[in-house]
Amino acid sequence: MTVHVGGRRVRVYPLRGVTYLAAGLLGVGIHAVVWSPDPKPSTPTAHHEAQEPSRFTGPTRVEAGMPAGFARTREGAVAAAASFVTSGQALLDMDPSAAERAVRQMAATGTADEQARGAEQRLAAVRSTLASGRGPIVFRQASIAARVVTWNPDRAEVELWNVGILSRAGVAPPQAGWAISTFELVWERADWRIWSETIAPGPAPVLDASTTPADSDGFVGALDGFVDLGGGQ
């Protein structure tokens, strides 16, 4: 989506729950690339790890600041993807070393290095682009609907229609970006892990006449005390 940052039109790519900016900033372009490594890695080998049947879907715990403990079921794979795609605020709030640990916690071993490097670069780009604002960078997210493309106990492909709302006072008024994120998940280390994620623009509704758009201060104030659901907190 295109957002307004400090009077400039900025292209925003919400990927892996984090806003990736590709824009002219003081004459310098910050270019985003898709989260999945390029070229795409070879197909991962299947993992066969014993797990007792369970009734839970997950998450059941937090590891490295990220949701973990998902069922080895179709529903568990959807829950994992929904949690991963809404982890942006948690990652933005972390220091670089903590963010790297968080990304590696979610990532499959075969693509963890690429994902960690990409996350470091993109988080730095977001912070740099919004540095002239004041107060916290606010990134509220939600998964609206899911579609399971394929599933078996070792692999799953899940598509999520999701929205991310970005705001920072003084530089970026509240604005929503809609996307369809496609996760390729593998069962590894006794949990669902991200092998790759790709993103495409999602169908975006228009604002109806029931309310007026909020500014950054009003947006933060109106949601004081609200806790995101399923966002990896």
Write the pLDDT tens digit of every residue in 52-74.
444 589 999 999 999 999 999 99
Number of domains in the chain: 1
Q: What is the pLDDT of residues 127-143, one digit of tens each?
A: 999 999 999 899 999 99
What does DSSP assign to residue 229?
S
**Average pLDDT in the chain:** 79
Q: Is residue 47 part of a domain?
A: no
As a whole number, mean pLDDT of residues 200-229 equals 86
Q: What is the pLDDT of residues 206-215, one digit of tens each?
A: 888 888 888 8
Tell me the DSSP string of 157-184: EEEEEEEEEEEEETTEEEEEEEEEEEEE
Host domain of residue 31: 2-40+52-222
Q: Is residue 45 part of a domain?
A: no
Q: Is residue 112 part of a domain?
A: yes
Token couple for 159: 């598509």
Q: Is residue 46 part of a domain?
A: no
Q: Is residue 22 part of a domain?
A: yes
Q: Is residue 232 part of a domain?
A: no
As a whole number, mean pLDDT of residues 223-229 equals 83
Q: Is residue 227 part of a domain?
A: no
Distance from the Cα of residue 168 to its chain's centroid: 18
Q: Is residue 138 part of a domain?
A: yes
Q: Residue 31 above 70 pLDDT?
A: no
As a whole number, mean pLDDT of residues 211-226 equals 86
Q: What is the pLDDT of residues 77-102, one digit of tens each?
A: 999 999 999 999 999 999 999 999 99
Residue 160 CA to residue 148 CA, distance in Å, equals: 9
Using CA atoms, how far residue 36 sits from 169, 175, 194, 201, in Å, is 31, 25, 9, 16
CATH number for position 187: 3.10.450.50
